[in-house]
């Protein structure tokens, strides 16, 4: 590759009409997914499953949500870090977010909606739920492809039933300057898989294995799919969990919505014996994701390069 050519994330098309398990198209896309997650830990996923009106609707819903008064947004509380309202952090003043557990289930979305809008807001609820349901289907496809690519179909039911979903919606205020400011510090996700939709305000950057930062500019009909530390550990390091960050310039706010598949509390993440051998020795001890999250947000954890390795590395 020409040294002047900027590195781009792989683009994988999930819109193929014959993309069904067992088909040649499925096998081709599955190989692309495996390679992209091995090399980059993420890729741009093209999909026609979300209509244009739904895309517009989700960003309209996010603007409406974040325009609520702070005291209203603070009603979204959770015992789990980053599952409720997050904002007012001095080190990332441009960032605020809201979490909705299992937002693919209408009852859960309605619970939040009625908390924030006592008079009701069915348009918001329907938009959030339908969007989350579509993304959960893409999450399931990606995870099925990953397990199939390693020949681990026998773990499929256990793996798919081991997670819940968290929809995290985010706003990054424009810094009102041409100087680049931090929107969100560099980090890896703790999830199994993250699927992200963003408006057309740039800012997301992904770090390659050699330390280069890529500016991510997805098209209007695509998402960013990436794996988190949980799948990185489960695959015994065979797939890469990429550091990423948000860097902001200008005056326009950036909105994004990410669906995270999260291991359930009490479920032990453990690499299958098929992925451990002399060439690939065990990298991580078995761990409970909830306990790992509690450690992740301690002051000690914030001072280390890799929280996962520090917590359960062999």
Q: What pLDDT does residue 27 have?
A: 97
pLDDT tens-digit readout, 121-137 = 999 999 999 999 999 99
Judge contact between 282 and 314, C-beta under 8 A. yes
CB atoms within 10 A of CB 54: 14
* 31 contact partners, CB below 8 Å, separation of at least 6: 149
Mean pLDDT, the chain, whole residue set: 92
pLDDT at 2 over 70: no
Number of neighbours of residue 285 by Cβ within 10 angstroms? 13
Is the model's pTM score more than 0.85? yes
Q: For position 78, what pLDDT does the model report?
A: 86
pLDDT, average across residues 269-287: 96
* pLDDT exceeds 80 at position 193: yes
Q: What domains are defined for the chain?
A: 11-273 (2.60.120.330)
Residue 81 scores a pLDDT above 80: no
Question: Whole-angstrom Cα distance, residue 307 to residue 304?
Answer: 6
**Tens digits of per-residue pLDDT, 226-266?**
999 999 999 999 999 999 999 999 999 999 999 999 999 89
Provide CB contacts within 8 A for 305, sequence distance 6+. none
Residue 1 has pLDDT above 50, yes or no: no
Residue 56 tokens read as 């517009």
Backbone dihedral angles phi then psi of residue 222, each to the nearest 5 degrees: -135, 160
Those residues whose C-beta lies under 8 Å from the C-beta of residue 118, and which sit 6 or more positions away, are none
pLDDT, tens digit, for every residue of 149-189? 999 999 999 999 999 999 999 999 999 999 999 999 999 99
Question: CA 100, CA 176: separation in Å to the nearest integer?
Answer: 29
pLDDT value at residue 46: 93
Q: What is the pLDDT of residues 26-41, one digit of tens each?
A: 999 999 999 999 999 9
Let me know how long the chain is. 314
Count other C-beta atoms under 10 Å from residue 31's C-beta: 12
What pLDDT sits at residue 126?
A: 95
CA atoms within 13 A on the CB side of 311: 25
Place of tokens 């799948």: 231
Helices 122-149/52-66 angle, 10° precision: 120
Yes or no: say if 85 and 96 are a contact pair by the CB < 8 Å rule. Answer: yes
pLDDT score of 3: 52
Q: Percentage of residues in the chain with pLDDT exceeding 90? A: 80
Please, are residues 312 and 270 in contact by the beta-carbon 8 Å criterion?
no
């Amino acid at each position: 590759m020409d040294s002047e050519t900027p590195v781009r994330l792989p683009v994988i098309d999930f819109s193929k009409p014959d993309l069904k398990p067992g088909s040649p198209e499925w096998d081709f896309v599955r190989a692309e997914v495996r390679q992209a997650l091995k090399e980059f830990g993420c890729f741009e996923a093209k999909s026609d499953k979300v209509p244009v009106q739904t895309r517009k609707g989700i960003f309209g819903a996010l603007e409406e949500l974040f325009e609520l008064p702070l005291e209203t947004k603070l009603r979204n509380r959770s015992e789990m870090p980053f599952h409720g309202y997050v904002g007012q952090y001095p080190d990332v003043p441009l960032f605020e977010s809201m979490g909705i557990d299992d937002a693919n289930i209408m009852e859960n979305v309605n619970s939040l909606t009625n908390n924030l809008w006592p008079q009701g807001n069915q348009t918001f609820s329907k938009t959030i739920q339908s969007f989350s349901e579509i993304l959960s289907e893409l999450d399931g496809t990606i995870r099925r492809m990953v397990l199939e690519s390693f020949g681990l179909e026998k773990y499929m039911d256990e793996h798919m039933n081991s997670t819940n979903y968290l929809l995290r919606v985010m706003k990054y205020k424009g810094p009102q300057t041409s100087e680049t400011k931090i929107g969100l510090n560099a980090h890896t996700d703790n999830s199994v898989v993250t699927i992200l939709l963003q408006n057309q305000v740039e800012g997301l950057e992904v770090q390659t294995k050699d330390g280069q930062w890529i500016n991510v500019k997805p098209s209007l009909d695509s998402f960013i799919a990436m794996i988190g530390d949980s799948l990185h550990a489960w695959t015994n390091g065979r797939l890469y969990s990429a550091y990423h960050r948000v860097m902001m310039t200008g005056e326009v706010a950036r909105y994004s919505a990410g669906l995270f598949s999260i291991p359930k509390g009490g479920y032990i993440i453990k690499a299958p014996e098929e992925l451990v051998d002399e060439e690939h020795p065990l990298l991580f001890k078995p761990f409970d994701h909830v306990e790992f999250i509690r450690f992740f947000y301690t002051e000690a954890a914030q001072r280390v390069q890799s929280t996962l390795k520090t917590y359960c590395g062999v």
